[in-house]
Structure 1
């Protein structure tokens, strides 16, 4: 394929996906700081004056299950002396429930879909357009991937020169100026953009698939065991495991699932792929799944979310993801300017 044909396809892919990539890039850049946004939103509910050693988890679970008996219940934060955070789910609704770690009383009941980070996240993965929006995000992800690949092939001979800043930026000519900037941003952000678009496309496929399926109505049973006691037994039998997420049984007969990390896990493994199942009637451990010991495909799957959202690093990684997220909108705008200038020149 000639460079002329490559340039044509590269332009088409970018132009079709351009407007959507602006939305995906801007929301992605903001979502690099989603945990910080949640900290600001929930600051008034997260810190309590209770003793640093107090955590009445069983009391909190009992309170929430009594008041929300039909909701699927997950515990996403349970640290001594801090508010216990529940994530309640129905097919068409999500709620955040904050519970006092000592009294077990509900501090706040918040519609999760109204929080800033969740609203932006929903815009990012569905454009707030339901199942069809999810499919559209998937299509745009594929187009962006094709745009990156054609751009990589198209500029393969000047990759090294661009990385070494040996490509001149001519300010005297508008098209050449934007073309040079487009090339610099595209090349320098290429590797991470490929990571983001591949992982994002995988996530978009999963989200699209789940959105097109009929959701199952939860039928959660009331827990009869002590979750605190079960976690103590778990800590004694698996001292290298750090529990950080609880999934209460969604249906009768289901197990209590504990997610978290093992001490030797690489930073890029998702904590949700380590699963320890606990019998909801006896409190005994029935199964232990370590992502590091699972087949390669499952291990790769566990890397998708951490790599896409930059969940493995501190401020430096967040800033890097933010800047690369902004590169997509810049490439879309600069690519349109270059294409428009070329089109006008051809007409003349």
Structure 2
């Protein structure tokens, strides 16, 4: 049984090693996406927050609408870090694609022009991470790699089910085959739980996105072309925010979703103080009619089904930010571990290859 599993383990490693290397490298980079953005373009993503109070949303929206009258705001993201600029999603009149820009929330200043997806380096890396920049084919390939990674990790767990015997064994002065063998087993034991989480959540998202992408031509005969504001311009977003915080105790808004199609509502998403750390910052939502501003619904993740709560936890589990910088560091390091596992696996294969060739030659000579 172990011999069959070992061969399957090796075969799967050969099949997915190249794409998995690329996914692992890009994923570890994305754990620190904002920090990289702050190094590459600090004037866009960072703001001076000392001694300043953020402007009201009505003021911020007015400033944007004045600067870009041919665009409509469809989403406004706030961050817990006060030194991080707001991220605003917009759509141009006469189009159906979204763009994004950064806004200084303390001075109502537009920090960048509307830019399409994949415009910035880290956005390009993110797109590469789950599609290889190959559209639906890339989505499918990344989903397959994620599923095979889960299978590979499970096989590794079975092969090393008595992992406690090797957990603290690393004979770094031993012969190369023993050195690489110990390194491979130690890395596998430590990294497997994280790799299973990353593989499962990544496969789930890619399969969901692929299903949506394939069904989109059936659901929509033509994309909606933005031509006007789809919410009542006299509504006060600040008033809705105050009302939302009365609906949920200790509610902290993190995203304001404005209508991008006729009939859509205004949604205010956010977290609640003291909520499960695995729930995302968008876990709860409060919905308002886009024309009247009347309350029309609420989603409290704490009262949702177990399935909904599990799905909501996928975001933090995949990016590893549920316990601050420590969990992000662990996710970045262990997310990179497939590179080391593949390297140590190849090293063991190369060391053992001459021995296997000699054994094959010996069997051939005996047969003759």
Pairwise same-fold verdict (TM > 0.5): yes
- How do 1:1-348 residues align onto structure 2 when only pairs under 5 Å count? 2-45=1-44, 46-47=46-47, 52-64=52-64, 67=68, 69=70, 73-77=74-78, 83-88=85-90, 94-101=98-105, 104=108, 106-111=110-115, 112-157=117-162, 159-163=163-167, 165-166=168-169, 168-169=171-172, 171-172=174-175, 174-214=176-216, 216-217=223-224, 219=226, 221-224=230-233, 225-348=235-358
Counterpart CA distance in 2 for 1:175 and 1:115 is 44
Alignment partners' CA distance in 2, 1:81 and 1:29: 23
Deviations for 1:139-159, whole angstroms, at most 9, x for unmatched residues? 0011111111111111213x0
Q: How has the CA–CA distance of structure 1 residues 42 and 244 changed in structure 2, closer, same or farther, with 3 Å as cutoff? A: farther
Larger mean Cα displacement after TM superposition, 303-312 or 190-199: 190-199
Shift of 1:19: 0.9
2:169–2:182 contact (8 Å) kept in structure 1: no
Give 3-state SS (helix, strand or coil) of 1:252's partner: coil
Distance in 2 (CA, whole Å) between partners of 1:197 and 1:78 is: 27
SS of 2:298's equivalent in the other structure is strand
- Aligned with 1:275: secondary structure? strand
Deviations 1:55-94 (A, max 9, x none): 1322332454573656561101279998543123589855
Q: Is the 8 A contact 2:224 2:261 kept in 1?
A: no
Conserved in 1, the CA contact under 8 Å of 2:286 and 2:298? yes
Does the Cα contact within 8 Å between 2:231 and 2:290 map onto a contact in 1? no
Structure 2 residue ranges without an equivalent (≥5): 218-222, 359-368
Distance in 2 between residues matched to 1:94 and 1:344, nearest whole Å: 57
- Maintained 8 Å contact 1:32/1:318: yes
Query: Once the 2 structures are TM-superposed, how far is the Cα of residue 211 of structure 1 from its aligned partner?
Result: 3.5
Shift, 1:270, TM fit: 1.5
TM-score with structure 1 length normalisation? Answer: 0.88
Q: CA deviation at 1:319?
A: 1.2
Distance (Å, rounded) in 2 between the aligned partners of 1:103 and 1:145:
47
SS in 2 for 1:147: helix
- For residues 114 and 96 of structure 1, what CA distance do their matches in structure 2 show? 10
Determine if contact 1:53/1:81 at 8 Å carries over to the other structure: no
8 Å contact 2:47–2:104 — kept in the other structure? no
**Preserved CA contact (<8 Å) 1:182 1:331:** yes
Query: Partner of 2:7: helix, strand, or coil?
Result: helix
Distance 1:176 1:218, change over 3 A: farther
Pairwise CA distance, 1:192:
1.6
Coordinate RMSD, CA, aligned: 2.8
Instruction: Please state how far the C-alpha of 1:96 moved relative to its aligned partner.
Output: 2.5
Residue 203 of structure 1 deviates from its aligned partner by 1.9
Q: Hey, what's the Cα distance between the residues in 2 that align with 1:152 and 1:258?
A: 43
Distance in structure 1 (CA, Å) of the matches to 2:83 and 2:154: 50
Q: Is the 8 A contact 2:58 2:236 kept in 1?
A: yes
Higher relative contact order (CA 8 A, sep 6+): 1
The runs of 5 or more residues in structure 1 that have no matched partner are: none
- With structure 2 as the length reference, what TM-score do the two structures score? 0.84
